[in-house]
Amino acid sequence: MSSPLFTVIIPAFGRPEPLRYTLRSAAAAARRLGPDQGEIIVVDDGSPESLETLFRDFPLDPRPVWLHQTNAGSMAARARGLAAAKGAFIQFLDSDDLLHPDKLTAHAAAHADGADVVTCELAEVKLDEAHACRDWRPTPRHDVPSAEVMDLWLGYQPAPHCITYRRTWLQDALSTPRVAPLRAMDPSGDVWLYYNLLEAAPPRHHHLASGLAAIGPHPETRYSQHWENLGAASLLIAEKWIAAEATRPSPPRARIAVGCSAFTTWRGLPTDFSPALKARWLEVWRRSGSPRPRLGRLTPLARFLGPVLATRVMNRLKPRPYSSCRTLDEAALERLLSTLPPP
């Protein structure tokens, strides 16, 4: 039997109800590729009750391949799925997200034209009681990835369900990752992947202006509901990337891009947010040696004061309090900051 066109890799830990919708959507997209052309791999990351057992009588076509591991986090689960994948192209999918029935066929066509990486737009969707999706509606487009590879990985940063990869390109790019995965990076596993793609051979990239993937409208808590967790994990990734300079110098363009991204993050944090964490983001920028932080309207003021002082002056004039965007209570924030590994 020939290898499938696509492998969909789904790390999962418990939460079987959202996973039912995810698997139904992935199976519907896989069927449109043709018989035996869509492979679905679910990596059960040490769920308290075996997901394979729970889904034994749940009708799916094609049936997923179930892999099991001791709980090690979503990044390790993705790596396990990628190692087992047989498809020519890879779709990572979180266990609470959804694919449009046409997504894999549309992405496969773009890959067949030579693209190594294909991205699409997000959509909104409704769920029905039969674990199916309906009423797909594209969300308004805010930004579209530019032709600049660094902007794709550090600026646009596609949601995992919006991007697919040529498997051979991805595996080559990750053969010797610059940043080793750590469990503390799990909330920003996509960011870890994108940082490790900065030094890969530039991919041939194609963007589809269609809403072909959706965030499942489930009531359960997800990583993306707490930007503080995402920010702390992303900081750790950026620090480890810069620290690798001592033994593995990066191309100047990549280093400048990382520095600009760190400076932009520092500028965007609430004025009264953790001073220690903000200082660490600024140190990533300084260590990058990046001379060109993105300042926008601050550029004229920065010519006289420098980018850091200009930003601080503007924050004094127009402060943005943490209370306006806080998602963690004081105890949860303290736990996060106390468990964040040192730089």
| CA angle (129, 135, 136) in 5-degree steps | 120
Q: CB within 8 A of 11, min separation 6: which ones? A: 43, 45, 74, 77, 78, 81, 94, 95
H helices of 8-102, in order, are 16-31, 51-54, 74-84
Q: CB within 8 A of 260, min separation 6: which ones? A: 154, 285, 290, 292, 293, 294
Residue 188's φ and ψ, nearest 5 degrees, are -120, 50
pLDDT given for residue 298 in this prediction:
67
**Nearest Cα to Cα of residue 305 among 315, 107, 72, 209:** 315
Pairing of strands 163-166, 117-127: antiparallel
pLDDT given for residue 11 in this prediction:
97
Q: CB within 8 A of 142, min separation 6: which ones? A: none
pLDDT given for residue 142 in this prediction:
64
pLDDT tens over the chain, length 343 residues: 579 999 999 999 999 999 999 999 999 999 999 999 999 999 999 999 999 999 999 999 999 999 999 999 999 999 999 999 999 999 999 999 999 999 999 999 999 999 999 999 999 999 988 888 888 998 877 677 777 888 899 988 999 899 999 999 999 999 999 999 999 999 999 999 999 999 999 999 999 999 999 988 877 666 567 899 999 999 999 999 999 999 999 998 899 999 999 999 999 999 999 999 999 999 999 999 877 776 676 677 777 888 888 888 888 889 999 999 999 999 999 999 999 999 8
Residue-range domain boundaries for the chain: 6-225, 227-339
What is the rounded CA–CA span in Å between residue 125 and residue 294? 35
pLDDT given for residue 221 in this prediction:
63
pLDDT given for residue 304 in this prediction:
80
Q: Does domain 6-225 have CATH number 1.10.10.10?
A: no
What is the rounded CA–CA span in Å between residue 5 and residue 36? 8
